[in-house]
Structure 1
Amino acid sequence: MSGTAEVRQDDGRDRDPDGRARNARPRDGLGRPMPYGTDGVERQPEGLVRSPEETVAEAQTLLDEGKPFHAHEVFEDAWKAGPDEERALWRGLAQLAVGLTHAARGNVTGGARLLRRGAGALEEWVSDSGRARPYDMPLAELSSWARELAGVVERDGAAVGAAAWAPRLRGGGA
């Protein structure tokens, strides 16, 4: 969240102290809302500005822990706060993480669609920027990983293990 306490308002909605809507329900490792009062997975703070290296490292840790929804939030911060010329890169990576989230939840259609959308975004970013390995991320391999997982999800029609399918964001690939 934003680092400020969320409060329930009389209208039954969660809002921050400034009155902005904020969902304060706890979430599980795949980002699914849980009942109030349940111990959930700690949420990623919103709006943090990290270096690209910190973004990749934090996202990798979350992916390895089977928390792709939370990794998506880290990528989303980079997408929103980063330089304009890198927004498409971070948005594509966020789409991969959300695609893995949906695939792990058993949402075959949504998972496959977002994985392919993210793969396409990374491929387009490489062709536009000429940078195939920004921050040591092997974008061609990540794109191939996403397309492979999309095919597996569609073929099997079942949820996949988020940690088991976590891609390698740096080095040798997915």
Structure 2
Amino acid sequence: MRGRNGRDRDPEGKARNARPRDGLGRPLPYGADGVARQPEGVVRTPDETLREAQRLLDAGMPFHAHEVFEDAWKSGPEAERALWRGLAQLAVGLTHAARGNASGGATLLLRGAGGIEPYAKEHPYGIDAAGLAAWARELAEHLGRLPEPVPAAGSAPRLRG
């Protein structure tokens, strides 16, 4: 549905971009075949969040994994929000790296690494925060030297140790 100003709207009238997107979340022309978007506002258990995000990362869809982490960040307990936000930033960093935006990718990977490092000793839900932070820092360091975008699926981390 489109509003008076031409913006896409959901049934409640809220602004929503209805354009189809590719596997890296880039908008495609209206009418093009795209990748199904992740539904917004889904409340999942931490295990469901991690399983779904890992499936999306392994499939080369880090943008969509970011949306799963964003739901956990927004619906989870306050004490865990930095963890889920950091994981979302890692996924967006990988998205930018796979799109060829080395600078933006590195910035988000480093920001995400900093966000999850405080959880390294706890291993919440089996998350390998130390390993993920090391992966993110290594990828961020290499992005500026790579001549091409990184493969999203081939560069995806393992969330659990």
TM-score normalised by structure 2 residue count: 0.97
Question: Gapped runs of 5+ residues in structure 2?
Answer: none
2:159 is aligned to 169
For 1:2-81, list aligned pairs within 5 A: 7-81=1-75
2:77 is aligned to 83
Alignment partner of 1:158 is 2:148: yes
Tell me, in whole angstroms, the C-alpha distance in 2 between the residues paired with 1:100 and 1:61: 15
Tell me, in whole angstroms, the C-alpha distance in 1 between the residues paired with 2:62 and 2:47: 18
The one-letter amino acid of 2:160's match is R
CA shift at 1:157, angstroms?
4.5
Aligned residue-pair number? 161
The percent identity for this pair of structures is 69
TM-score normalised by structure 1 residue count: 0.90
Aligned residues: CA RMSD = 1.1
CA shift at 1:154, angstroms?
1.4
Q: List structure 1 segments (4+ residues) > 6 angstroms apart after TM superposition.
A: none
Alignment partner of 1:126 is 2:119: yes
Tell me, in whole angstroms, the C-alpha distance in 2 between the residues paired with 1:165 and 1:144: 13
Tell me, in whole angstroms, the C-alpha distance in 2 between the residues paired with 1:57 and 1:100: 18
Q: Deviations over 1:91-147 (max 9, x none)?
A: 000000000000000001100000000001111x327xx52x111111000000000
CA shift at 1:10, angstroms?
3.1
Question: Gapped runs of 5+ residues in structure 1?
Answer: 1-6
Tell me, in whole angstroms, the C-alpha distance in 1 between the residues paired with 2:76 and 2:87: 13
Asked whether the 8 Å contact 1:76–1:91 carries over to 2, the reply is: yes
Asked whether the 8 Å contact 1:59–1:74 carries over to 2, the reply is: yes
Q: Alignment partner of 1:40: what SS?
A: coil
